[in-house]
Amino acid sequence: MKVFTVSQMIAAEKAADAAGVAYAQMMEHAGQTVAEAILARYPVAEARVLVLVGPGNNGGDGLVCGRYLAQAGADVAFYLSKPRDLATDANYAQIQQMGLFAVAAGFDQRFRVLRTRLSVSDLVVDALLGTGVTRPIGGDLAKLMRQLQAGVAERRTALHEPSHPRLVSLTPPRPALSPASTSSPRAVPSAYPIIVAVDCPSGLNCDTGELDALAVPADLTVTFAGPKRGHFIFPGAAACGELVVADISIPPDLPVVQAVNVEVVTAVHAHTLLPARPQDGHKGSFGKVLIAAGCDQYRGAPVLAARGAFRAGAGLVALATPDVVRQTAVVALPEATYPLITAEQVLSAQDAAQLLPTLPQYDALLVGPGLGGTTVGQTAVEFLFALLAAPYLPPMVLDADGLNGLAQLPDWPRLLPPDTILTPHPAEMARLMGIPLANLLARDRVEVAREQAQAWGQIVLLKGAYTVVAAPDGRVTILPFANPVLAVGGSGDVLSGVIVALLGQGVRPYEAAILGGYLHGAAGALYPGDTGLLASELADLLPRAIQLLKSDKP
């Protein structure tokens, strides 16, 4: 699915209009789909709904949405930031013909109508600005949004006054009923009023992710044709709630749409990337991978990477680790094989020489997890340099200390075969680029990943909330996961194991990075909560994530 900048979205709408999909038709579809998203999630019949209507097309979308909600049985009122003309605004005329209440802010002395309606609203549809924010909100709109913030806070306080029960149970709480055991699929909101943003929460810069102080975070954001860059950039990303993309009939084959080279992976697309698992396959059919990793200080990293590789479908996993790691790894992971190398505590150039003749036996290679720590010692760097000098290298992933060691080698990009997968977190990325971490964090993650993938001629998977995967040809894919449960030691080792397993099963490098990152995020999403997940448990959730992706309803 394409990820648009605001200017790209404007161009796509203009091209669609020229191709015969009129602006009025797109607006009708937009408002209808927002209403459909609301109806699918929340009880609407007899609910009190307030639609905040801005002066532009976003406000028109809100008028259409409110009309459909009223037809579904909701008590809908409209609050206009600017007056609309009945003679020229067909959507405004329709709600007037339906007898629905509407008032413009200019006729609302001291915002009394707004505050009164907010005090009883169950759901607020934010259709004030959409993608139109490029500077701080000011003037009359700022006054309106201050009242909106205050009214929402007042409504929630009134509904959720702290109580002091006379009886307090000391028995641990019982698990709630699972969604499958309830009669309704609709979500139960944590607080009223529910805030639904049309396209973007008002105050979110949809290019940069900047968030105005006056913005009201949404519980649900329904955007059109494709998400916008700002939906995946913090702090704005945190204000979007659940993000839903609606089809408004913009033809996907329009040249201006096809030219957008940033995408977000969906479950449907990830499903198409899964490698085949033929019934008559054997362990050799599903890839033999080599993981060169570990040292005396980091003994678990290679085991976690191998566990991730096995759980992602690798048929054979070989662990090239120092003896001090191998002694415990063989107990924790007896399924793996262990090439005979002489290293006792840290892999060295001598161990690389022992491995070189065996490299053609492997379908993929992972180098780096736990190789030597953040400050990789000279011995580990010499191992890496000697390994990269091999006359033949299978498709390769470099992670963790492999990247830290790489950053110490002069002109390191020329040492790598094309389309090697690099999987840095931001600190490792800064080391590879030779810049301070603060400088990296101040830049657009999408553009950083794209520029460096092109400069280095390699595939870059830049980890973090909404991980970015970039290819040397300029393509960029965003992964739709921002889950703090994945922020745990060993999580990245599991990810690199998943990716090398996919490479070993014949998935092309760019697709392996995308699919590996997607499966990693999907496995994390299966964990019930946002804290406490162990990396080994994350690996064990991978088969379930894969099976769900293969199901009819991924």
382: left (phi over 0), alpha (psi -120 to 50) or beta: alpha
Residue 366: per-residue pLDDT = 98
pLDDT digits (tens, 9 = 90+) for 45-61: 999 999 999 999 999 99
Q: Could you confirm whether domain 6-158+190-260 is CATH 3.40.50.10260?
A: yes
Q: Which residues pair with 389 in a beta bridge?
A: none
What pLDDT score does 377 carry? 79
User: Amino acid identity of 265?
Assistant: V
Q: Cα–Cα distance between 466 and 86 in angstroms, integer?
A: 43
How far is it, in rounded angstroms, from Cα 384 to Cα 308? 22
| Dist CA 144 CA 141 (whole Å) | 5
Is residue 221 within 8 Å of residue 260, measured between CB atoms?
Answer: no
Q: What is the CATH number of domain 283-417+486-548?
A: 3.40.1190.20
Using CA atoms, how far apart are residues 4 and 18, in angstroms rounded to an integer? Answer: 19
Query: Taking a C-beta distance cutoff of 8 angstroms, is the pair 67, 31 a contact?
Result: yes
Name the nearest CA neighbour of 549 among 487, 39, 151, 541. Answer: 541
Residue in 206, 55, 81, 210 with CA at minimum distance from that of residue 143: 81
Write down the pLDDT at residue 177: 41
Got the DSSP string for 123-186? Answer: EEEEES-TT---S---HHHHHHHHHHHHHHHHHHHHHT-----S----SPPPPPPPGGGSS--S
Q: Please tell me the distance from the alpha carbon of residue 269 to that of residue 372, in angstroms, as a whole number.
A: 37
283 touches 310 (CB < 8 A): no
Sequence-distant (6+) residues with CB within 8 A of 334 are: none
CA distance 388 to 410: 13
Task: Write out residues in the chain with pLDDT < 70, as ranges.
Answer: 160-165, 168-169, 171, 173-190, 373-376, 552-554
For 494, the token pair is: 């599991």
Q: Determine contact, residues 142/110, Cβ cutoff 8 Å.
A: no
Which 3 state secondary structure label does DSSP give 266? coil
Q: How far apart are CA 94 and CA 97, in angstroms?
A: 5
The per-residue pLDDT for 178 is 38
> To 10 degrees, what angle do helices 491-504 and 535-550 make?
40
| Cβ-contact 330, 338 below 8 angstroms | yes
Q: So where are the chain's domains?
A: 6-158+190-260, 283-417+486-548
Q: What is the DSSP string of 412-454?
A: GGGGSPTT-EEE--HHHHHHHHTS-HHHHHTS-HHHHHHHHHH
Residue 413's pLDDT is 95
